[in-house]
């Protein structure tokens, strides 16, 4: 967010709206606009610029972290993100050749430029794609800005994502936080997450994992409400996480190692290589799931 103003080329708009010229931080700039009724036109312009900016970005052909997350997780899993960029949804489209709809639940807790929603049927999907029920094109969902006081109930799509998130957090066994710094501007989000997680003393089996480059002590302090005693790990590299060391089997691997005291070996996601090679690598895992005959796997 720090250099977002520069990336978007919106410095002039902000100055026009009376935002002090030394404000380069998007968060501060946006908070100033929200507090000023004259700022609504500028805010609309800002939103258009953000959509255009993200639409102009392209994913490389080689596997990205988004491809890895989708391939390494199963439909019973949930990926919740605060990111507005379209990459996760673009990755769904390109990996669907092998995933065939068996993707984790995707929740965009602050909206997303590529996400669509049909409020009538409460169907989530791609922006502009046809709703599976009413066959009307799905409208986009709003982007929630980085200000402290967010209202998650105003938009039906975002409210539905949060409702699902709270339910998922209550039931989850492994909780992984990936590159999310829990900034003070997300006070509302964090208190909702904490509330859903509930009393940490009652989450005695759950494992919390944090993938972040910040020091371990700092991470443990930030995520304290989600960590039962010593039940956490931190990694500065995604490829050292349970998801990457045991793709599509992280829960089973963890349970076998720590609850059943079995020796298990890693089955690391291969690095390098093409997306097609990665798909081939995953085939035995997909086949094992299909042979179980359970779509929920
Ligand atoms: Zn519909």
Q: What is the pLDDT of residues 39-77, one digit of tens each?
A: 667 777 777 788 888 888 889 999 999 999 999 999 999
* Separation of CA 105 and ligand 1 centre (Å): 19
pTM of the entire predicted model: 0.87
Looking at residue 230, what is its pLDDT? 80
Instruction: Give the closest residue to 238 by CA, choosing from 64, 1, 62, 61.
Output: 64
* Separation of CA 139 and ligand 1 centre (Å): 10
Looking at residue 148, what is its pLDDT? 62
Looking at residue 259, what is its pLDDT? 80
* Separation of CA 124 and ligand 1 centre (Å): 9
Report how far residue 153's alpha carbon sits from residue 193's, in angstroms, rounded to the nearest whole number: 15
* Separation of CA 86 and ligand 1 centre (Å): 22
* Separation of CA 153 and ligand 1 centre (Å): 20
* Separation of CA 43 and ligand 1 centre (Å): 29
Report how far residue 101's alpha carbon sits from residue 206's, in angstroms, rounded to the nearest whole number: 28
Looking at residue 294, what is its pLDDT? 61
* Separation of CA 169 and ligand 1 centre (Å): 27
Looking at residue 238, what is its pLDDT? 95
* Separation of CA 128 and ligand 1 centre (Å): 12
* Separation of CA 122 and ligand 1 centre (Å): 7
Distance spanning both ends of the chain, measured CA to CA:
37
Looking at residue 21, what is its pLDDT? 64
**15 or 70: whose pLDDT is higher?**
70
**Which ranges of 100-206 does DSSP label H, i.e. alpha helix?**
156-171, 187-197
Looking at residue 151, what is its pLDDT? 78
* Separation of CA 295 and ligand 1 centre (Å): 24
Structure confidence by residue, pLDDT tens digits, 25-35? 676 777 677 66
Report how far residue 204's alpha carbon sits from residue 269's, in angstroms, rounded to the nearest whole number: 29
Average pLDDT score over residue span 86-100: 95
Structure confidence by residue, pLDDT tens digits, 187-213? 888 888 888 888 888 888 788 999 999
CB atoms within 10 A of CB 90: 18
Residue 165 has pLDDT above 80, yes or no: yes
Looking at residue 263, what is its pLDDT? 82
User: Are the C-beta atoms of 107 and 73 separated by less than 8 Å?
Assistant: no
User: Are the C-beta atoms of 189 and 109 separated by less than 8 Å?
Assistant: yes
Locate 79 and state its tokens. 């990926």
* Separation of CA 160 and ligand 1 centre (Å): 15
Looking at residue 65, what is its pLDDT? 95
Q: Does an H or E element contain 95, and which? A: helix 87-99
* Separation of CA 106 and ligand 1 centre (Å): 18
Q: Which residues contact 146 (CB under 8 A, 6 or more apart)?
A: 1, 26, 27, 30, 183, 185, 186
* Separation of CA 20 and ligand 1 centre (Å): 43
**From its phi and psi, is residue 80 left (phi > 0), alpha (psi between -120 and 50) or beta?**
beta
* Separation of CA 123 and ligand 1 centre (Å): 6
**149 or 85: whose pLDDT is higher?**
85
Looking at residue 297, what is its pLDDT? 52
Residue 1 has pLDDT above 70, yes or no: no
State the chain's mean pLDDT as an integer: 86
* Separation of CA 156 and ligand 1 centre (Å): 13
Backbone angles phi, psi at 136, to 5 degrees: -90, 150
* Separation of CA 116 and ligand 1 centre (Å): 11
Looking at residue 25, what is its pLDDT? 67
Looking at residue 35, what is its pLDDT? 66
Structure confidence by residue, pLDDT tens digits, 234-279? 999 999 999 999 999 998 888 888 788 888 889 999 998 999 999 9
């Amino acid at each position: 967010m720090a250099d977002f103003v520069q990336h978007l080329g919106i410095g002039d708009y902000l100055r026009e709206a009376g935002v002090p010229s030394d404000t380069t931080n998007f968060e501060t700039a946006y908070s100033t606009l929200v507090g000023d009724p004259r700022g609504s036109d500028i805010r609309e312009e800002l939103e258009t610029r953000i959509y255009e900016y993200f639409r102009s970005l392209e994913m490389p052909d080689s596997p990205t972290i988004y491809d890895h997350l989708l391939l390494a997780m199963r439909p019973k899993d949930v990926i919740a993100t605060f990111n507005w960029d379209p990459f996760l949804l673009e990755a769904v489209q390109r990996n669907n050749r092998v995933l065939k709809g068996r993707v984790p639940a995707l929740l965009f807790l602050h909206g997303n430029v590529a996400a669509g929603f049909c409020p009538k049927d409460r169907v989530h999907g791609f922006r502009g794609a046809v709703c599976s029920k009413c066959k009307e094109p799905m409208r986009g969902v709003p982007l929630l800005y980085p200000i402290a006081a967010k209202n998650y109930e105003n938009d039906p799509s975002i409210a539905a994502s949060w409702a699902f998130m709270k339910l998922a957090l209550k039931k989850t066994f492994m909780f992984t936080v990936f590159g999310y710094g829990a900034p003070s501007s997300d006070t509302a989000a964090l208190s909702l997450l904490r509330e859903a997680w509930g009393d940490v003393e009652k989450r005695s089996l759950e494992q919390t994992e944090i993938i972040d480059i910040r020091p371990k002590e700092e991470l443990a302090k930030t995520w304290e409400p989600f960590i039962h005693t010593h039940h956490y790990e931190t990694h500065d590299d995604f490829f050292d996480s349970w998801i990457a060391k045991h793709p599509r089997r992280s829960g089973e691997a963890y349970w076998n190692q720590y609850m059943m005291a079995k020796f298990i070996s890693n089955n690391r996601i291969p690095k390098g290589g093409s997306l097609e090679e990665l798909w081939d690598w995953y085939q035995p895992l997909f086949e094992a799931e299909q042979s179980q005959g359970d779509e929920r796997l």
